[in-house]
Structure 1
Amino acid sequence: MTTLGILHPGSMGAAVGAQAKAQVSDVLWCPEGRSQASQDRARRYGLAAVADLAELCARSDVIISLCPPANAIEVAEAVAAESFPGTYVDANAIAPASMARIGDLLMPNAAAVVDGAVVGSPPSETKKPRLYLSGPEEPAATVAQLFRGSAVQPIILEGRIGKASALKLAYTSYQKASRVLAAVSYALASDHDVEEELLDIAQGRTTSYLTETSYFPKTAARAWRWAPELREAARALDDVGLPAALMDASAEVLERWATLKDQPPGIEETLNRLHIAPES
């Protein structure tokens, strides 16, 4: 049976690793340099400790990297230094270019490098995150098989390394930024004692803007007046000491559509215009 190595058992890594236990001989982890919280998590999920990274690399057929995105390349470099010959899965929220760099680091020795992306909360009895995989077909299928019948739902994307990472960041760009924006919006309403009214407006909506792709051209056609409105919102936020950068950045995006005044283009042209900065 396959031996799986997890780098590292954070809240997501430990839970994902545990979900593979039914399909592998061991789920290994390396306590070296890890916090007490990580050690406690690893014990709770029944992961098997090894002496160091060298042993983990020597014994593992597959390694899954689940760490803070800022450390993804550092972790890959450490594994590459051990000449790991198995399948390496980077399942962190990193840019496709970063994923390509990791591929370059590992491929001289690794059997395969697979691009992974976890969307959702750590797996449990009630939560079933998706694990998107892209890259070499057979290694991706092997990784998917590790989670057969578990709370982790593997989905293979046909094509190159970078697709899974791009999907993750496309989603997170909206999902996480919208959470931040909601907090800033509520803070502004609270400063002016209209938070209950804001919630009443918001509760009238039942769908996510992310699903309303047909509205993108309408947004573009209204950009000429929405951009100044958001500049004013930025000023209002700044006046009460709240961060205004999100509003200014959104206005800057809208300004790329400024020439489409009241003339909704097609979706393709709408999105293409986002790649073209306005002339200064």
Structure 2
Amino acid sequence: MDQPTIGILHPGSMGAAVAACAAMNAADVLWCEAGRSPASVARAEQFGLTPVPTLQELLDRSDIVVSLCPPAVAENLARDVAAHRFSGVYLEANAINPERTVRIAELLEPAATPVDGGVVGSPPVRGKTPTLYLSGAAAATKRIEALFAGTAVHTKALGTEVGKASALKLSYASFQKTSRVLVALAVGMAREHGVDQELIEVASRRTDSYLSEPQYVAKTASRAWRWGPELEEAADTLAAAGLPPEMLRAAASTLARWNDAKDGELTLTDALDRLAQP
């Protein structure tokens, strides 16, 4: 089979790195530069992606489109793609709840073939090897698996039901991200009473606990603008299942206190100060 041309929407830190892996098995990887930030341009250049001026050109030239964007805009982006009558494979790989994934699939069908995707792990750079979970039509998921064969992005198919990959992604994210928020609150409380070093010492006896890694609080703060919306999506998924969503909504609200720290370089002290005095 000829190598496919890939379109990436849009090359953020995860999207650009994933697209660069796909480039190993693709004829070309395109991205639309219209309206994107200088940071996006720099990332795309760093990973060797090919710019095109319009979404229409990207869709006309692409066999497979990969959507990796902030959760809030995932449906609008899919709606734009559907309006252009894209007829290839559309990988919906955003951290959104299964109901939204199904709605997006319905928007795109029957012209396009939607595949539900969920990335678990860090961007595939500096030795990191995330797993891309897939669910959807077997032939389409096999094309995605072939696209990432032999790359740092591992793939695993979960069946043909759209929504399964999104559910797995949010199930994991709800634990992993909320746990990091709890670390920040615990260390912040201890610091207020002058016992933060003692807390860290206690936690260090349990190396399997996130609490033993307080330095990660600063990374959590810099990623809060992405993690908060993911937890809101996970909360919606809990509510739809009849499970209480309040814990995840509270964690998302806590993360919102760090929204202005987007991708910044903070110290632990900076992060805790912003958490206490937003």
Do the structures match in fold with TM over 0.5? yes
Equivalent in the alignment of 1:102: 104
Deviation at 1:247, TM superposition (A): 11
Equivalent in the alignment of 1:188: 189
Distance in 1, Cα, partners of 2:48 & 2:248:
46
Q: Structure 1 residue 202 and structure 2 residue 203: aligned?
A: yes
Equivalent in the alignment of 2:11: 9
Q: CA 1:208/1:184 → structure 2, altered by over 3 Å: closer, same or farther?
A: closer
Q: CA 1:127/1:197 → structure 2, altered by over 3 Å: closer, same or farther?
A: same
Residues 91 and 115 in structure 1, CA contact (< 8 A), matched pair in contact too: yes
Q: Mind listing any 5+ residue stretches in structure 2 that lack a counterpart?
A: 211-245, 252-278
1:155 partner amino acid: K
Deviation at 1:22, TM superposition (A): 1.8
Q: Counterparts in 2 of 1:149-228, with a 5 A limit?
A: 149-207=150-208
Q: 1:246-266 deviations in whole A, cap 9, x for unaligned? A: 69969xxxxxxxxxxxxxxxx
Q: What SS does the corresponding residue of 2:202 show, helix, strand or coil?
A: helix
Q: 1:160-206 deviations in whole A, cap 9, x for unaligned? A: 01011000100110111111111011100110111122112212223
Q: What SS does the corresponding residue of 2:23 show, helix, strand or coil?
A: coil
Residues 125 and 151 in structure 1, CA contact (< 8 A), matched pair in contact too: no
Pick one of 20, 34, 45 that aligns with 1:32: 34
Q: What SS does the corresponding residue of 2:87 show, helix, strand or coil?
A: coil
Q: Which structure is higher in RCO with an 8 Å CA cutoff and minimum separation 6? A: 2
Pick one of 28, 53, 56 that aligns with 1:54: 56
Residues 181 and 246 in structure 1, CA contact (< 8 A), matched pair in contact too: no
Q: CA 1:30/1:247 → structure 2, altered by over 3 Å: closer, same or farther?
A: closer
Q: What SS does the corresponding residue of 1:128 show, helix, strand or coil?
A: coil
Equivalent in the alignment of 1:138: 139
Q: CA 1:248/1:12 → structure 2, altered by over 3 Å: closer, same or farther?
A: closer
Equivalent in the alignment of 1:115: 116
Residues 203 and 209 in structure 2, CA contact (< 8 A), matched pair in contact too: no
Distance in 1, Cα, partners of 2:161 & 2:57:
30
Equivalent in the alignment of 2:273: none
Distance in 2, Cα, partners of 1:246 & 1:197:
27
Q: CA RMSD in A?
A: 1.9
Greater gyration radius: 1
Equivalent in the alignment of 1:22: 24
Residues 97 and 162 in structure 1, CA contact (< 8 A), matched pair in contact too: yes
1:82 partner amino acid: H
Residues 7 and 64 in structure 1, CA contact (< 8 A), matched pair in contact too: yes
Residues 131 and 153 in structure 1, CA contact (< 8 A), matched pair in contact too: yes
1:157 partner amino acid: L
